[in-house]
């Protein structure tokens, strides 16, 4: 059991940090602009593909920096020429715009890079074993993921708390109209925040594309989970996104790692494995784990719509 717990915490943190890389950008965008960007995971995907293509010529390390910048630029274009136009019609069309955009990006990625996963890999040095815990090897790459996430969190925190630009963003997160009244160019701030959020997702993609598989389906699979993190953490709250990412990462990993079902633990009590309650009684924890985030999403929205750290409701 100790093994399982230690293991769940470590791997959950690892998975959680990847979730955080994606959701931190989304929570900024959501909190500030009220736009729940359905295409956010698509920018994550673009990050992976850009890094793969750039990496072929520049090598991984340069691609690690260039790819998020390229994704950020794409994000800026989308905000400037797409979202801003739709903004006047209200939040629902904005949401629908990003919904359609996600489809288009996925198709374009499949068009240019093909439907087969691309062979996007970490540099050879990072595939060597860094340490071994309970007989399982952990590569330097996993350590690197943690490192990137920590640097990202600290960087974000410093940016938001200690710089002037961060102060404006902070202010715009809670009182966008007031910031505009104070003479700041709110549309420009919006474009920059959107681009920055996309770049963060792109960075997540650079790393996540290696950890998982880089294929056109990666956005579609990650998308809903990222929403869950943002809602659970609280809209616009970066620390909230971090905590929620870790909670979901650890909880999901734990459910997957244990061998548990009500029937096995308490006894079958002659309940047959059929009918609604019977099936639930016999349901293994591993089978529940993937729907856990959505259960959390619904429960959060019912009982605490502002999330763990959020200051205001959606």
Partner 1 sequence: MLHNKKTGRFAGIMIGLSMAFSSATYAQEDPIRISYIDPLSGPFALAGDGGLKSFHFAAQKLNEDGGILGRDIEIVPMDSKQSASEAVQLVQRSADEGINFVTQGNGSNVAAAIIEAIERNNRRNKDNKMLYLNYAAVDPALTNELCSFYHFRFDAASDIKLEALTNYMKDQEDISKIFLVNMDYSHGHFISERMAELVDERLPHAEIVGDVLHPVGKVRDFSPYVSRIQQSGADTVVSGNWGIDLALLVRAIDSAGLDVNVYTYYGGAGGVPAGIGPRGEGILRQVTEWHADVNVDEGLEDYEKWFQEFKKQYPQFDWYYHRIYNQMYMLKAAIEEVGNTDDVDAIALALEGMKFESPTGTVTMRAKDHQILQPMYISVMDTNAKYDAENSGVGFRTVASIPVEQATVETSCNMARP
Partner 2 sequence: MATNTAAGGINALKLWPWLIVPFIAIVLPFVFDSGHTINLLSHMGVAIIFALSYNMLLGNTGLLSFGHAVYFGLGAFVAMHLLRAINDAGGTGLPIELLPLAGAAAGLGFGVIFGSFSVRRAGVVFAMITLGLGELVHSSSLMFTDFFGGEAGLFGYRDEAPSLLGVDYAPSRNVYFLVVAWTLIAAILIYLLRKTPLGWMANAVRDNPERAQFVGYNPTIVRYIQFVLSACFAGLAGGLFVITNEIVNDEVVGQLQSGAVLLGTFIGGIGYFIGPVVGASLVTFLESSLSAHTEAWVLYFGLLFISIVMFAPMGLVGIVHTQYLNWKAGGWKGNTGIRLYILVSGLVGIFGLICVIELSYHYFRSWDPGAPFILMGISTNATHLLPWLVSFAITIIGFGLMLLHGNPLLKRHISANSDGGKA
Residues that bind partner 1 (CB under 8 A): 3-4, 7-8, 11, 14-15, 110, 114-119, 121, 127, 129, 132, 134-139, 141-142, 211-213, 215-217, 220-222, 252-253, 256-257, 259, 284, 286-287, 290-291
In the chain, the largest separation of any two C-alpha atoms, in whole Å, equals 71
Q: What CA–CA distance (Å, rounded) separates 18 from 246?
A: 9
Write down the least CB distance from residue 121 to partner 1, Å.
Answer: 7
Write down the least CB distance from residue 255 to partner 1, Å.
Answer: 8
Residue 186 vs 226, nearer CB to partner 1: 226
Write down the least CB distance from residue 2 to partner 1, Å.
Answer: 11
Residue 295 touches which member of partner 2, partner 1, none, C-beta under 5-8 Å by kind: partner 2
- Measured CA angle at 201 (ends 109, 89), to 5 deg: 80
140-149 — which CB contacts under 8 Å span 24+ positions?
Answer: 141/210, 141/211, 142/14, 142/211, 144/207, 145/14, 145/17, 145/18, 145/207, 145/211, 146/13, 146/14, 146/17, 148/17, 148/21, 148/203, 148/207, 149/17, 149/18, 149/20, 149/21
Q: What CA–CA distance (Å, rounded) separates 196 from 217?
A: 24
Residue 212 touches which member of partner 2, partner 1, none, C-beta under 5-8 Å by kind: partner 1
Residue 155 vs 290, nearer CB to partner 2: 290
Residue 57 vs 88, nearer CB to partner 2: 88
Residue 269 vs 291, nearer CB to partner 2: 291
> For the chain, what percentages of helix, strand and coil (3-state, to nearest 5) are there?
75, 5, 20
Write down the least CB distance from residue 141 to partner 2, Å.
Answer: 30
258 and 225 in contact (C-beta within 8 Å)?
Answer: no
Residue 260 touches which member of partner 2, partner 1, none, C-beta under 5-8 Å by kind: none
Residue 117 touches which member of partner 1, partner 2, none, C-beta under 5-8 Å by kind: partner 1
Residue 100 touches which member of partner 1, partner 2, none, C-beta under 5-8 Å by kind: partner 2
Residue 94 vs 215, nearer CB to partner 1: 215
Q: In degrees rounded to 5, what are phi and psi of residue 235?
A: -65, 130
Q: What CA–CA distance (Å, rounded) separates 246 from 297?
A: 15
User: Contact residues for partner 2 (CB under 8 A)?
Assistant: 34, 36, 82, 85-86, 89, 91-93, 95-97, 99-101, 103-104, 107-108, 111-112, 114, 224, 227-228, 231, 274-276, 279, 283, 287, 290-291, 294-295, 297-298, 301-302, 305, 313-314
Residue 15 touches which member of partner 1, partner 2, none, C-beta under 5-8 Å by kind: partner 1
Residue 97 touches which member of partner 2, partner 1, none, C-beta under 5-8 Å by kind: partner 2
Q: How far is CA 265 from CA 2, 15, 186, 270, in A?
A: 18, 28, 57, 14
Q: What is the CA radius of gyration of the chain?
A: 21
Buried/exposed 102-141: b ≥16 CB within 10 Å, e otherwise: beebbeebeeebeeeebebebeeebeeeeeeeeeeebbbb
Write down the least CB distance from residue 211 to partner 1, Å.
Answer: 8
Residue 137 vs 313, nearer CB to partner 2: 313
């Amino acid at each position: 059991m100790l093994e399982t717990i230690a293991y769940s915490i470590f791997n959950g943190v690892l998975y959680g940090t990847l979730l955080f890389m994606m959701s931190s950008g989304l929570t900024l965008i959501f909190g500030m602009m009220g736009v729940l960007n359905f295409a956010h995971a698509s920018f994550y995907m673009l990050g992976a593909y850009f890094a793969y293509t750039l990496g072929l010529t520049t090598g991984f390390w340069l691609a690690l920096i260039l790819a998020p910048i390229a994704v950020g630029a794409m994000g800026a274009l989308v905000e400037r020429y797409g979202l801003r136009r739709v903004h006047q019609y209200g939040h629902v069309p904005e949401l629908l715009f990003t919904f359609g955009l996600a489809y288009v990006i996925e198709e374009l990625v499949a068009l240019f890079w093909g439907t087969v996963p691309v062979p996007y890999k970490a540099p050879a040095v990072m595939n060597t074993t860094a340490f071994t815990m309970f007989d399982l090897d952990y590569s330097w790459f996993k350590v690197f993921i943690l490192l990137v996430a920590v640097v990202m969190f600290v960087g974000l925190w410093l940016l938001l708390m200690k710089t002037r630009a961060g102060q404006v963003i902070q202010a715009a997160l809670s009182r966008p109209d007031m910031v505009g009244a104070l003479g700041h160019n709110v549309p420009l701030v919006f474009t920059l925040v959107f681009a920055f959020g996309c770049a963060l997702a792109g960075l997540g993609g650079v790393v996540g594309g290696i950890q998982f598989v880089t294929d056109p389906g990666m956005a579609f699979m990650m998308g809903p989970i990222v929403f869950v993190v943002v809602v659970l953490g609280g809209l616009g709250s970066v620390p909230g996104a971090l905590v929620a990412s870790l909670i979901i990462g650890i909880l999901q990993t734990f459910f997957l790692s244990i061998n548990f079902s009500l029937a096995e633990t308490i006894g079958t009590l002659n309940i047959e494995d059929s009918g609604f309650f019977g099936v639930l009684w016999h349901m293994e924890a591993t089978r529940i784990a993937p729907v856990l985030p959505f259960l959390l999403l619904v429960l959060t929205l019912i009982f605490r719509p502002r999330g763990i750290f959020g200051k205001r409701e959606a």
